[in-house]
A and B are shown apart, each in its own frame.
Chain A
Amino acid sequence: MALLNIRNLTVKFATATGSFTAVDGIDVHVDRGEVLAIVGESGSGKSVSMLAVMGLLPDTATITADEMTYDGRDISNLSGAERRRLIGREITMIFQEPIASLNPAFTVGFQIEEVLRLNLGLGRKAAQARALDLFRAVGIPEPEVKIRSYPHQLSGGQCQRVMIAMAIASNPRLLIADEPTTALDVTIQKQILDLLMKLQEDYGMALILITHDMGVVAETADRVVVQYRGKKMEEADVLSLFEAPQHPYTRALLSALPENATGDRLPTVSDFFQREGT
């Protein structure tokens, strides 16, 4: 049974010039312990659909779906209290800009202990001890020192590790990572992806990885959803997607990768764009 199941999700934004459809009838499901990659370029609605699940969209957004269930439970109409019991415990999320995701005015230790006290009801001492364990689990060097640091004193990679530590603090069953390595250097990206995959396996949690990077998809995903302009173009297991992409957009994306260049010019997606009328 699917852990998260979404059918026919549509998200519309009210703008000054009328309604804008960011997500247009998307089906997404993720199974327990599965790594799903949602891949797309900017404006494909890949982040918006997951923000809709988390209930993090602004009031200007109208969300409709035929089905939106987590573990068999309907999550489309949760009250605030019900949602808080679910989000941040069972389902957690990390974002693209790790340094911006943390509050600059508090130490990272304070912020992670706050999560532990609020979500797990731990006391101050217990929260401190657990925070240290989590820092070790996500591979932060000198955890006793770093736990008293402010976000600006840590590197981008370390801040992302702190975010991951917070996200796994409550043993979630689903972690949504929205472009978790896009702002990071390639060697740090490798470390963070390796860490996410290790934690995913150790904790047996499902992972939804939102990315624009086909390389990241190739190195992490079990299954892949390709999105373009709010619509799902293709869904396949990772090997089939790279071996035999079915949709022309997926083929165009893969052939636009510089490492796949055959001649002295890259094939572009423009043929596809022209057909779509851009």
Chain B
Amino acid sequence: MEQDIPVVEGRAIVRNYHVPGSMLARAKSVPALKGIDFKVGKGKTLAIVGESGSGKSTLARIIALIDAPSGGELRIAGEPVDIGRRRPGPGLRSKVQMVFQNPYGSLNPRQKVGDVLMEPLVINTDIPAVERRDRAEAMLKKVGLLPEHFNRYPHMFSGGQRQRIAIARALMLNPSLLVLDEPVSALDLSVQAQVLNLLADLQDEFELTYVFVSHDLSVVRYIADEVMVISKGEAVEQGSREALFANPQHPYTQSLFAATPVTDIEAIRARVTRRKAARAAQAR
């Protein structure tokens, strides 16, 4: 059954970073990922949650076929992929695309938006120039920008608009899998909501599969189907969003929940009452 083949699957993914030696220090190997298993079905969203240094971005780069894992097996649409041995060709690149955290850094400031969008087509396909332009303009509309933005430079756009451009670029090759590394954490709250809505709309329209890396549990709760919590290179907890948010099992997950600020009215009321009582006691 074709439906049963996960869009992306990882088995015991390991990644070590090699720190070269110097006069004073020996070379050493730092394990960033210590054997991660996951799979994501078509049209679903896997959220990878963790704090800085947990290895979540390393995993995202491996899934996006940017870095090779040191060990384990990565399968895209059921096919084993080893970019360490063979560079991915246009076919594979078209299947997997990535959106980065900082839309200020991920767009070339000297490249017009139109060229940003057409570049993946130039590199990976032989679509003629006229059609490339049509596709780029159509994609601009799709992500909520205007065709006249085609000839503008990235600095003329706000952070939210730039992230829309980065998403548009990632979608130009009709990928089935989009890896999003903290796509909304550099954005203001109101803009964040717009971009999250856009991602949800695009997922519905194109049956996209998302791997969504985030440190923000409230965003994850909104967007994810499955959640994986990683800490120090290990997946400490994995499960459906409902199960994980209703009943987090691992102490690390629980500590993440406990640390996340809540805007719940009753919690605020309790805090305000507590403070008033403490002050009254001090005044006495």
Task: Determine whether the beta carbon of B263 is less than 8 Å from that of A212.
Answer: no
**A237, A252, A265, A266 pick with most chain B CB within 10 angstroms:** A266
**With a CB–CB cut-off of 8 A, which chain A residues contact B133?**
none
| Cα A249 to Cα B191 with chains together (Å) | 13
B221 an interface residue at 8 Å Cβ cutoff?
yes
Q: State which of B10-18, B19-27, B84-92, B252-260 sits at the interface with chain A.
A: B252-260
A186 an interface residue at 8 Å Cβ cutoff?
yes
Give, as a whole number of angstroms, the nearest-CB distance from B116 to chain A: 23
**With a CB–CB cut-off of 8 A, which chain A residues contact B267?**
218
Q: State which of A58-66, A110-118, A267-275 sits at the interface with chain B.
A: A267-275
Task: Determine whether the beta carbon of B268 is less than 8 Å from that of A266.
Answer: no
B141 an interface residue at 8 Å Cβ cutoff?
no
Interface bin, chain B = 35 or more
**With a CB–CB cut-off of 8 A, which chain A residues contact B52?**
185
Task: Determine whether the beta carbon of A212 is less than 8 Å from that of B188.
Answer: yes
**With a CB–CB cut-off of 8 A, which chain A residues contact B262?**
215, 218-219, 259
| Cα A222 to Cα B189 with chains together (Å) | 22
Number of contacting residues on A, CB 8 A? 41
B269 an interface residue at 8 Å Cβ cutoff?
yes
B125 an interface residue at 8 Å Cβ cutoff?
no
| Cα A75 to Cα B226 with chains together (Å) | 55
**With a CB–CB cut-off of 8 A, which chain B residues contact A269?**
189-190, 193
User: Which of B159, B196, B260, B271 is within 8 Å of A266, CB to CB?
Assistant: B196
A residues 199-238 touching B (CB-CB < 8 Å): 201, 212-219, 222, 237-238
B111 an interface residue at 8 Å Cβ cutoff?
no
User: Which of B159, B191, B256, B261 is within 8 Å of A219, CB to CB?
Assistant: B261
A residues 36-81 touching B (CB-CB < 8 Å): 41-42
Give, as a whole number of angstroms, the nearest-CB distance from B218 to chain A: 4
**A215, A217, A257, A259 pick with most chain B CB within 10 angstroms:** A259
| Cα A212 to Cα B189 with chains together (Å) | 8
Instruction: Enumerate 24 A-B pairs (CB-CB under 8 Å) in ascending A order.
Output: A33-B279, A41-B189, A42-B188, A185-B51, A186-B215, A186-B259, A187-B259, A189-B259, A190-B259, A213-B261, A215-B262, A218-B261, A218-B263, A218-B264, A239-B268, A253-B190, A257-B218, A259-B218, A266-B197, A267-B193, A268-B194, A269-B189, A269-B190, A270-B194
Query: B: which residues have CB within 8 A of A?
Result: 51-52, 159, 188-194, 196-197, 200-201, 215-219, 221-223, 255-256, 258-265, 267-269, 271-272, 275, 278-279
| Interface contacts beyond A201-B278, A218-B262, A265-B201: sample of 13 additional A-B pairs, CB < 8 Å, sorted by A | A41-B190, A186-B256, A189-B261, A190-B258, A215-B261, A219-B261, A238-B268, A242-B263, A257-B189, A257-B218, A258-B193, A258-B221, A266-B197
